Amino acid sequence: MRFPPYWRLSAWYFFYFAFIGAFAPYFTLYLQSLGQSAFAIGVLMSLMQVMRLVAPNLWGWLADRLGHKVAIVRLSAALSLIGFATFFFAHDFAGLFVGMALMAFFWSAALPLVEALTLAELKSRPDRYGRIRLWGSVGFIVAVMGAGALLDATGLPLLLWICTALLAGILGISLLLGETRPETAPAAQAPLGPELRRPAVVAFLAACFFMSAAHGPFYFFYSIHLVDAGYGKTLVGALWSLGVVAEIFVFIYMPRLLQAFSLRVILLASFALAVLRFLLIGWAVDSLALLLLAQVMHGATFGAFHAGGVAVLNRWFAPRHQARVQAIYGSISFGAGGMLGGLLAGQTWESLGPELTFTIGAAFAAIGWVLLWRGMHEPSAAAAAAR
The structural domain count of the chain equals 1
Do the domain assignments include residue 184? no
The reply to whether the predicted model has a pTM over 0.75 is yes
| Single-letter amino acid, residue 55 | A
Print burial letters for 359-385: b (CB count within 10 Å at least 16), e (below 16). bbbbbbbbbbbebbeeebebbeeeeee
Question: CB of 15 within 8 A of CB of 81?
Answer: no
Residues in the chain: 387
Do the domain assignments include residue 44? yes
DSSP classification of residue 198: S
| Single-letter amino acid, residue 118 | T
Do the domain assignments include residue 186? no
Do the domain assignments include residue 359? yes
What residues make up the domain containing 15? 5-179+192-386
- Say how far apart CA 352 and CA 65 lie, in whole Å: 47
pLDDT in tens, the chain (387 residues): 445 577 889 999 999 999 999 999 999 999 999 999 999 999 999 998 888 777 777 777 777 677 677 888 899 999 999 999 999 999 999 999 999 999 999 888 888 788 878 877 777 565 677 778 889 888 999 999 999 999 999 999 999 999 999 999 999 999 988 776 554 444 445 577 788 888 999 999 999 999 999 999 999 999 999 999 999 989 999 999 999 899 888 888 888 898 899 999 999 999 999 999 999 999 999 999 999 999 999 999 998 998 898 889 888 887 777 767 877 887 788 888 988 999 999 999 999 999 999 999 999 999 999 999 999 876 443 344 444
What's 20's domain CATH number? 1.20.1250.20
Distances (CA, A) of 248 to 243, 260, 269, 310: 9, 19, 17, 16
| Single-letter amino acid, residue 148 | G
Do the domain assignments include residue 187? no
